[in-house]
Amino acid sequence: MDNNTNAEGYWKATLGLLAKVLVVWFVVSFGAGILLAPMLNNIHLGGYPLGFWFAHQGAIYVFIGCIFYYAKKMGDIDREFDVHEE
């Protein structure tokens, strides 16, 4: 495999991963925290409406999970294309 094909595959995999993480980020922050908040507020979690919880607490947990997921998957992609730093 030549370097140009390898580089294109690497960036395609990287941008695909980034797109997945950004979709999750958008759905949680904008979807659950804003658009679906009135519907989610009918459910309570720890005494607080679920829409409020997602907007203020749950989104932070999901974002931290996204960071760990991204770091793990990016390491896998780096090893797959032999650009890792080990």
Question: Is residue 30 a part of any domain in this protein?
Answer: yes
**Which residues lie across from 48 on neighbouring strands?**
45
| pTM confidence score | 0.79
Nearest-10 crossing angle of helices 59-80, 3-26: 170
Question: Is residue 60 a part of any domain in this protein?
Answer: yes
In single-letter form, the type of residue at position 1 comes to: M
62: containing domain: 3-80
DSSP 81: T
Residues 6+ apart with CB under 8 A from 50: 40, 41, 42, 43, 44
Question: Is residue 85 a part of any domain in this protein?
Answer: no
d(CA 62, CA 58): 6
Question: Is residue 86 a part of any domain in this protein?
Answer: no
Question: Is residue 38 a part of any domain in this protein?
Answer: yes
Largest Cα separation within the chain, whole Å, is 58
Structural domain total, the chain: 1
Question: Is residue 26 a part of any domain in this protein?
Answer: yes
Question: Is residue 49 a part of any domain in this protein?
Answer: yes
Q: What is the pLDDT along the chain (86 residues), one digit of tens a residue?
A: 567 778 899 999 999 999 999 999 998 888 888 888 889 889 987 888 888 887 888 888 999 999 999 999 999 999 999 887 76
